[in-house]
Chains A and B, each alone.
Chain A
Amino acid sequence: MRSLRMRLFWWTALVSAVVLGILWFAIDRAVHQTLVREFDNVLLEKARAIASMVEQDPDGVHFEFETAEFPEFSAKHDAAYFEVFVGGKAFARSASLGNAELPADADEASNARARKEILPDGGQGRFLGIAFKPYVDPGQEGNIPNNTRPTASVTVARNTEELEKTLLQIRWLTGGLCGLGVLLSGLVLLVVTNRAVRPVRALARRIETLDEKGLSAELDASRLPAELAPIAEKLNGFLRRLQGAFARERAFTADVAHELRTPLAGLLATLEVCASRPRESTEYEAAIAKCLHMLRQMERLVERLLLLARAENGQLHIRTGAVDLMEVMEESLAAIEPGAVARGIRFVRGWEAGQEWPAMADRELLRIVLGNLLDNAAHYAEAGSAVELHVTGVGSQVAAEVISRGHGLTEEDLPRLFERFWRKDAARSSTGLHAGLGLSLAQRLMRAQHGEISVRLEGDRFVATVELPRAQRGPAMAPPVKEG
């Protein structure tokens, strides 16, 4: 795993090394130039001072040098040298020079330039030469003819070992400081990133302790850095959704348990009571019939639960083809109509024979959906009322409608109808056939075949609509739809 911290560290170290290296170089150059310029200025001052000591009077050129004022030129010091030339010939020289010579080339005093050369003693040094006219006292000017004023020059040299040493010290000092800077910036970065990732680690530990029971524990976003707070907030939102999903799953499991346990209890109790003593064969027959009835209810419930689970997991095997909506409606009716007659429910068909409404659908799934709607109508509609059935086509859609009366539903109930195990009132039906799974199952099945199911209220009329894409080919031309 690549550590963000180490990457940050190396990059910062690299960048700071480059930046500080450039800085080091610049400082070194600046210090070097400044010190050398200063050195040269001093050299120039000394040359001027020495030049001012060369005077001319009618007796000739004189040089009055005060050794006490310039101790560096004494033989002892051996660090600075000068030589004065008058008329191109050596005129005077410093004690330090001994018998050695300095070069005589000279510049104008205003733009004298120092140059690096080997000193007579063999050491490194800088030379500066300026040309001048020997000083003449204004009172003596008339006594000296112009043509007798010779051209003089002075060359000054000074050992630069001290300067070089200082420059080297400064170079190492600044270099060391820059290196330290690189190191420090890296360390500071490490510390800072360490502190910065601490909340991330705390967050990670916090998340680690979360399980399906602790989903209600929210992460405290207020104590996190601004960059991390959105993550915690998003995570909280995710946790809330997860918690909701878990709560729904728990409720669903509890509902499933209830729906299965009650008939199971009935089955067990019936069999145990029946077996508790010898009985007439008619009693056994009645008990067997009851048990079979309960088993069928359980089987149907289990089937629906499995179908629902498959639909929710997208594991349905859907084979759509052109299907005549009216034909499927008639097939579904055939199973339900006989039972509905007992409650006085009449199904009124709103279509004429010979019409065809081809829909793209999976015949099996559509039969389950329509069967469910018709069964609900037969079960919940007011006793003795009529249930209207319509099949229509609108644009590229075909639709089937089941309209019944007397459900006692309100607008608020409509969205809840599609919730699993929702019932208007436990009284509306007892355990078993109408467990409140039908519509949520129907919705899943319709979506699986690109259709839609909707419900609405028109006064006391409850309208359930199933819509499907219209098939291009007539059902007569459609290939047989396989079961499953």
Chain B
Amino acid sequence: MRVLVVEDFSPLREAIAQGLSEAGFAVDAADNGEDGLWQAKLGEHDVIVLDLMLPKVDGMEILQALRSGNSPSLVLILTARDGAEDRIRGLDAGADDYLVKPFVFGELLARVRALVRRKYQARGNLLRVDDLEVDLVRHTVKRAGAELDLSGREYALLEYLAINADRIVSRTEIIQHVYDFNASLESNVIDVFIGLLRRKVERPGLRRLLHTRRGRGYMLSAKGDDV
């Protein structure tokens, strides 16, 4: 999952970025409104953590620009203003959630995760594809009850496929939403990770779940075969 952090106070921005990336999110950061707006408009982020008082372009302006541009990103406002009016103003302008500074970092993480679930219409923190279970909070994966030993990148990739289960996910999408691939479309780095993932997920005697749709992308599903 990819998150954009727009916050002008650098120690806070850096801490949020570090915390989120350690929790398995792909994180981009902007230290002013102008840069934040430019990045947010790309629409690649699942969640945008947005400070309201920003240099150059105000947080509220960014929010309005995103909402009028039908951005798919969900916005979590982060602000030092805790008046009810400010809350209402923020939510009315199209924010999906609101967090007042200072906050407990765990709460920020929980809210960001809740927004991700909301975006992909998942109900709980446990995603199931056949006998595969992905725990979005603990970042663990079980196949037929046995826990899989996955690296951070492998988990992030599998989580994204699981959250988009039964849908073909393109390589472009994976590059945009999944952490740290830093890969161009031509490189085969994603194929390598899919290969690693397949070796850990697929077991003899169990149903094949990870499918390749040549030229289109990948799909995690209990139905269908590779083409």
Taking the closest CB of chain A, its distance from the CB of B119, in whole angstroms, is 23
B83 within 8 A of A: yes
Which of B14, B81, B83, B102 has the most chain A CB within a 10 Å cutoff? B102
Question: In the assembled complex, how far is the CB of residue B187 from the closest CB belonging to chain A, in whole angstroms?
Answer: 30
Q: Pick the residue among B12, B55, B108 that contacts A266 (CB under 8 A).
A: B12
A269 proximal to B (CB < 8 A)? yes
Interface residues of B in 78-135 (CB under 8 A from A): 78, 80-83, 100-106, 108
User: Known interface pairs A266-B11, A272-B19. Does A261 touch B102 (Cβ–Cβ under 8 Å)?
Assistant: yes
Residues of A within 8 A of B18 (CB): 273
Chain A, 266-320, CB within 8 A of any chain B CB: 266-270, 272-273, 276-277, 290-291, 293-294
A353 within 8 A of B: no
Q: How far is the CA of A430 from the CA of B56 in the complex (A)?
A: 11
Is there contact, CB below 8 Å, between A431 and B104?
no
- Bound CA span A104–B39, Å: 139
Q: How far is the CA of A294 from the CA of B101 in the complex (A)?
A: 15
Q: Which listed residue (B8, B16, B83) contacts A431, Cβ 8 A?
A: B8
B19 touches A261 (CB 8 A): no
Q: Which chain B residues in 7-28 approach chain A with CB under 8 Å?
A: 8-12, 14-16, 18-19, 22
**What residues of B have a CB within 8 angstroms of the CB of A163 in the complex?**
none
A257 and B80 contact, CB distance less than 8 A: yes
Q: In this assembly, does B77 line the interface, its C-beta being within 8 Å of a C-beta of chain A? A: no
The 17 sampled A-B contact pairs (Cβ below 8 Å) are A254-B83, A257-B81, A259-B80, A265-B78, A265-B80, A266-B9, A266-B11, A267-B11, A269-B15, A290-B11, A290-B15, A425-B55, A427-B32, A430-B9, A430-B55, A431-B9, A432-B9
User: In the complex, are the beta carbons of B101 and A265 less than 8 A apart?
Assistant: yes
Closest chain-A Cβ to B216's Cβ sits at a distance in Å of 38
CB distance from A293 to the nearest CB of B (A): 7
Q: How far is the CA of A263 from the CA of B8 in the complex (A)?
A: 11
Chain A, residue nearest B12 (CB): A266
Does A426 have its Cβ within 8 Å of any Cβ on chain B? yes
Measured CA separation A262–B106 after assembly (Å): 17
Interface flag for B54 (CB, 8 Å) = yes
Partner of A272, one of B58, B78, B101, B105: B105
* Shortest distance between the CB of A30 and any CB in chain B (Å): 80
Flag whether A229 is at the interface (Cβ < 8 A): no
Residues in chain A near residue B19, CB distance under 8 A: 269, 272-273, 276
A257 touches B12 (CB 8 A): no
Of A260, A276, A291, the most chain B CB neighbours within 10 A belong to A276
B-contacting residues, A30-63, CB 8 Å: none
Q: In chain A, what residue has the closest Cβ to B23?
A: A276
Q: Which of A262, A267, A269, A293 contacts B80 (CB 8 A)?
A: A262
Find chain A residues with CB under 8 A from B16 CB: 269, 273
List the B residue with the shortest CB-CB distance to A427: B55
Apart from the given pairs A266-B9, A272-B105, 10 other A-B contacts in the complex at a CB distance below 8 Å: A258-B81, A261-B102, A265-B9, A268-B103, A269-B103, A270-B15, A427-B32, A428-B55, A430-B10, A430-B55
Instruction: Select one of A263, A265, A273, A426 contacting B103, CB under 8 A.
Output: A265
Q: Is A112 located at the chain interface by the 8 A CB criterion?
A: no
Q: How far is the CA of A426 from the CA of B57 in the complex (A)?
A: 9
Q: Taking the nearest CB of chain A, how far is it from the CB of B112, in angstroms?
A: 13
B168 contacts A by Cβ under 8 Å? no
Asked if A264 is at the interface of the complex by the 8 Å CB criterion, the answer is yes
Q: With an 8 A cutoff between CB atoms, is B53 at the interface? A: yes
C-alpha gap A290/B15 in the complex (Å): 10
Chain B residues with CB under 8 Å of A263's CB are 9, 11-12
Q: How far is the CA of A111 from the CA of B22 in the complex (A)?
A: 136
**C-alpha spacing A290/B12, complex, angstroms:** 10
Q: Which of A217-258 contact B (CB under 8 A)?
A: 254, 257-258
Please tell me if the beta carbons of B101 and A273 are within 8 angstroms of each other in the complex. no
Please indicate the chain B residues that have their CB under 8 angstroms from the CB of A430 in the complex. 8-10, 31, 55
Please report the C-alpha to C-alpha distance between residue A351 and residue B82 in the assembled complex, in whole angstroms: 50
Determine whether the beta carbon of A273 is less than 8 Å from that of B9: no
A265 near B54 with CB under 8 A, answer: no
CB-CB under 8 A from A261, the residues of chain B are: 80, 100-102
- With beta carbons under 8 angstroms apart, the residue of A257, A269, A270, A294 that contacts B82 is A257
Chain B contacts with A in 27-76, Cβ cutoff 8 A: 31-32, 53-56, 58
In the bound assembly, the distance between CA atoms of A218 and B100 in angstroms comes to 35
Alpha-carbon gap, A260 to B12, bound state (A): 13
